[in-house]
Chain A
Amino acid sequence: MTIENFLLMRNEISLLAVILLILIGEIFVSNKKTVINIAIILFIVHTIIGFLPLEIGKLFGGSFRTNELVHFFKSVLNVGVIIVLLQANDWIKEKLSIENKSSEFYILLFATLLGMYYMISAGDFLMLFIGIELATIPTAALVAYETSKKKSAEAGIKFILSAALATGVSLFGISMLYASTGSIYFTEVSTLLTNTPLAVLGFVFFFAGIAFKVSLVPFHFWTADTYEGAPISVASYLSVISKASAVFVMVMVLFTVFQSLSAIWVNMIYGIAIATMFIGNLFALRQQNMKRFLAYSSIAQAGFILLGMIANTDLGITTVVYFAAIYIFSNLAAFGVVQSISHKTGKENIDDYNGLYRTNPKMSLVMLMALFSLAGIPPVAGFFGKFFLFTAAASKGYYLLVFIAVINVTISLYYYLLVVQAMFLRKGENPIPFYKNSIAAKAGLVIAVLGIFVIGLYSPIYEYIADISNFVFK
């Protein structure tokens, strides 16, 4: 192994460099606000480096692997993180830097991202498990970051307890899989795995751990409370970046490692998809707090994603990755508006949004686009994402499942329209007054909205994903 081999881990190395630079910069730069700017600029540089083409290969005997799809997905996550950082900028500048804990925020956040990189690139269960742990534990600290708020601490402890249980269960599953195949490498496990009770049990336990990260029913209980208590930037990070990477891992592991058990997991996914869609949507109906509302909506969205997985073909991978990218931008646009309004006025309830269009038309329009994208209404990207997910499910003849999914789309439309109704139809007695966003917050929203439009209407993006995701079923 030469030093060039390590360049396969270029993304990870460059992110690690960013983390270390911030750590050092914290020591030498006295002005905390400069650190914030440096952190963002460093991360943008890291993202741009990430866009450069990368060789395909394996490291450490197959523990770490990279390919175009993995590389592409890391870049998508990077862009998502940039949006999160831009949207969080005001909050960090005005709150965290006064409490003298702004650079730690970046370090923790980037550490979790590093964990996700390793999750995505993992070629064996050990690397995957380390990645999951690295992605989870700093997140708990981030969730509890607003130490002055009781709810934040409560959310943190809820998150860490459920996460610990989930990873524990997952590890138990991995050990069973090791027991039944004698290997932890994905390529070997996939060939050795047979439909024995022990293997199935191991798979189910392992799946539960990932399902927790995606917040699939019945592993979703932490979601709403955590989102509500956590700082909004962290909630949006959890709901998009963390979830998207877990979705990616899930689809990869299911399609490659557990291909021999597909007869089992297809049925499992079928049931979980229905439960996740219905529970996410039905609970979202009655929410008043925007963060809880988006939490349940993101649970429901995860249910829709399962429709792509059930296809178990190239089409499944493509549509899932495509939808995940769209979902990142849509949800970040929605969270960005919630964040901005909450930061400026402290208001987080749907009723507070009454008459928003008449005072803040641009914010309302961003929210409208985001909600339409989440609801799946053309011409924004969410429509295309959902349509193709449903196409993937229908390609295997799961018309009944698609039918159930479209019922859920209609249910979800109701609660998304409730927010639209508050913003556009009502005239609030005490509406949120007009205010101007900072440049960073604006940039965050604009990138998200651009993403919502471009990914959907500009078909070459889909074709690119399709081109790079056809390696599994060769």
Chain B
Amino acid sequence: MDILSLFVTVPIFTLIALLFAKGLKQVRIISLIGMGIQFVMAINLVFAYFKERAINSDIMVFTQDYTWFKNFNIHYTVGADGITVAMIVLTAIVVLAGVFISWKTEDLPKEFFISLIVLAAGVYGFFISIDLFTMFVFYEIAVIPMFLLIGIWGTGPKEYSAMKLTLMLMGASALLLVGILGIYFNSAGADGVLTYNILDIAKVTIDSDAQKLFFPIVFIGFGVLGAMFPFHTWSPDGHASAPTAVSMLHAGVLMKLGGYGIFRVAMYLLPEGAAEWGNFFIVLAVIGVIYGALAAVRQTDLKYINAYSSVSHLGMVLFALLMMNKTAWNGAIMQSLSHGFMTALFFALIGMIYGRTHTRDITKLGGLLKVIPFISVIYVIAGLASLGLPGFSGFVAEMQIFQGAFQHPDTFHRIASIITVSAIVVTAVYILRVVGIMLMGTIKNEEHLSLKDATWYEKTGIFLLLIPIIGMGMAPLWLSDMITESLAPFIHRML
């Protein structure tokens, strides 16, 4: 078994073990062991990657290839570059933190962890695949457990949210199917063989008309998952209804599939399409950034605030990807990672606050810093990271994005960049507003006086997420180098 496929097989074995588990204690121990192994494997992968990279200059390393449906030239092909490795580390950390945060799942714990791990397996599979068909299979496997996770363990209008989220995401994946078929039937190289392999397709210049036709289809197909305006509406409802760990995983990891897919499939394989449609999608991305930020200002539900903030941050990822230069792309990947850790941390903290106070309405909360100082302080830190304070991951990412964006001298890009930059100010407004109302001031509800601070498993989850945020902010270079190196083939093909 190769080092990458293990990321799919370990969850499968964990699932099989879970089937025989009884009671919450066994279930969470098995999940913890399984996801702990994944975490160790992810850390190990980073070192193995650097070692392999030193001697191997292929676009993808650790490649493995098994034929699946040979009539369609469908393979199970895996491989990794620096971006993949970074995404896998993100996933491993968020999933492990999610297991800790869900430590006290009372209702149907076995089913909860099984769904969660199916989702994780789908995400890992998506990131390691370099065959479009396999990638698509994993994409759907990652999305569908959300229906059960939100519908069974969620809060509020959970059935509505679960249905809306699933239908929008699966509708998007259906659209993506058309795009993938379009790419497949235009992928014949000199030998005339059709292929789903991304690396092989990247050697072919796809017919220009086909590129222009299928680029928006693939872009929107992935863009919906990346909460692209105006297809973001599933995100606030879905996140608000989802249980904590699911919000973490979804905002932290699953939504990254969107940006990753756009970059790796839509833009990389259809560069002419990207050139043709770039400006159109820049407009949408900019609207998403500013709209998400403004909407977050008006919300009073903590989860809605964070969900709209995700729309805004991920809009920035799309914006950066469409800026078409190395610096911005680097920033986009960094922003993906940074947002993944940050938003997962936010949702974890919101879950803790909600679990204690039973409300997410910030107008009913106040002075929490006095009663639950640990959670509150971490919330402030996460907030500062989110608004891009130097020293945290957000700053590193946004700095690069705007540095890249301002390299375009023309009016259109300049205006778009300026509008996007201004969203940072709005971000500060909604973050500081929450901090001011919820954490500072007087305690509004006397029952809150007896609240207990974070437990050991909650703290473990928090630290898992906090360390990379600070780590990326303090020492971004090794990560940045790893990503920049992997951008070479993209630069070669698109610029």
Contacts and interface: CB of A to CB of B under 8 A. Distances in A.
Contacts of B72: 388, 391
B170 A390 contact: no
Interface in B172-205: 174-175, 177-178, 181-182, 184-185
Contact of A409 (B151, B163, B174): B174
A421 B151 contact: yes
Nearest to A397: B185
B68 A425 contact: no
Contacts of B181: 390-391, 394, 399, 402
A459 B182 contact: no
Contacts of B184: 391, 394
B69 A383 contact: no
A411 to B, nearest CB: 9
B29 interface: no
Contacts of A377: 140, 144, 170
Interface in B160-177: 162-163, 166-167, 170-171, 174-175, 177
Contacts of A395: 185
A420 B145 CA distance: 12
Contacts of B68: 459
A318 B72 CA distance: 12
Contacts of B177: 387, 390, 402, 406
Nearest to A413: B170
Given A387-B177, A421-B163, A462-B71, A399 B182 contact: yes
B158 A407 contact: no
A46 B130 CA distance: 46
Contacts of A399: 178, 181-182, 213
B69 A462 contact: yes
B440 interface: no
B141 interface: yes
Contact of A410 (B74, B137, B158, B174): B174
B203 to A, nearest CB: 22
Q: Which 7 A-B pairs have the closest CB atoms?
A: A406-B174, A425-B151, A394-B181, A410-B171, A378-B137, A459-B69, A466-B71
Interface in B59-105: 68-72, 74
Contacts of A318: 71
A402 B178 contact: yes
Contacts of B151: 421, 424-425
Given A395-B185, A406-B178, A409-B174, A378 B148 contact: no
A143 B132 CA distance: 46
Contact of B70 (A379, A409, A459): A459
17 contacts: A318-B71, A377-B144, A378-B141, A390-B178, A395-B185, A399-B178, A402-B177, A409-B170, A413-B166, A413-B167, A417-B166, A417-B167, A420-B147, A421-B162, A424-B152, A459-B69, A462-B69
Interface in A372-394: 372, 377-379, 383-384, 387-388, 390-391, 394
A94 interface: no
Interface in A331-373: 372
A172 interface: no
A106 B162 CA distance: 45
Interface in A384-442: 384, 387-388, 390-391, 394-395, 397, 399, 402-403, 406-407, 409-410, 413-414, 417, 420-421, 424-426
Contacts of A379: 137, 141
B159 interface: yes
Given A391-B72, A413-B170, A383 B137 contact: yes
A188 interface: no
Contacts of A462: 69, 71
Interface of A: 318, 372, 377-379, 383-384, 387-388, 390-391, 394-395, 397, 399, 402-403, 406-407, 409-410, 413-414, 417, 420-421, 424-426, 459, 462-463, 466
Nearest to A467: B71
Nearest to B71: A466
A75 B159 CA distance: 42
Contact of B175 (A384, A394, A406, A420): A406
Contacts of A372: 144
B178 A425 contact: no
Nearest to B217: A403
Nearest to B210: A399
Contacts of A459: 68-70, 74
Contact of A378 (B70, B140, B159, B174): B140
Contacts of A409: 170, 174
B152 A425 contact: yes
A462 to B, nearest CB: 6
A399 B182 CA distance: 8
Given A410-B171, A413-B167, A459-B69, A425 B185 contact: no
Contacts of B70: 459, 463
Contacts of B159: 421, 425-426
B409 to A, nearest CB: 38
A394 B182 contact: yes
Given A387-B133, A462-B71, 12 more contacts: A372-B144, A378-B141, A384-B69, A390-B177, A394-B181, A402-B177, A403-B175, A406-B178, A409-B174, A420-B148, A421-B151, A463-B69
A375 to B, nearest CB: 9
Interface in B101-151: 133, 137, 140-141, 144, 147-148, 151
Contacts of B185: 394-395, 397
A466 B185 CA distance: 19
Nearest to A414: B167
B66 to A, nearest CB: 10
Contacts of B141: 378-379
Contacts of B170: 377, 409-410, 413
A426 to B, nearest CB: 8
B278 to A, nearest CB: 23
Contact of B178 (A403, A420, A424): A403
A409 B171 CA distance: 8
Contacts of A378: 137, 140-141
Tell which of A318, A390, A413 has the most Cβ of chain B within 10 Å: A413
Contact of B147 (A407, A417, A426): A417
Contacts of B152: 424-425
Contacts of A420: 147-148
A372 B147 CA distance: 12
Nearest to A462: B69
Contact of A383 (B140, B166, B171, B178): B140
B219 to A, nearest CB: 15
Given A413-B166, A413-B167, A463-B70, A407 B174 contact: yes
A51 to B, nearest CB: 23
A401 to B, nearest CB: 10
Interface string B384-422: 000000000000000000000000000000000000000
A361 to B, nearest CB: 9
Given A395-B185, A403-B178, A410-B171, A417 B140 contact: no
A231 B399 CA distance: 68
Contacts of B148: 420, 424-425
Contacts of A384: 69
B163 A414 contact: yes
Nearest to B172: A410
A424 B163 CA distance: 13
Nearest to A425: B151
Contacts of A391: 72, 181, 184
Nearest to B213: A399
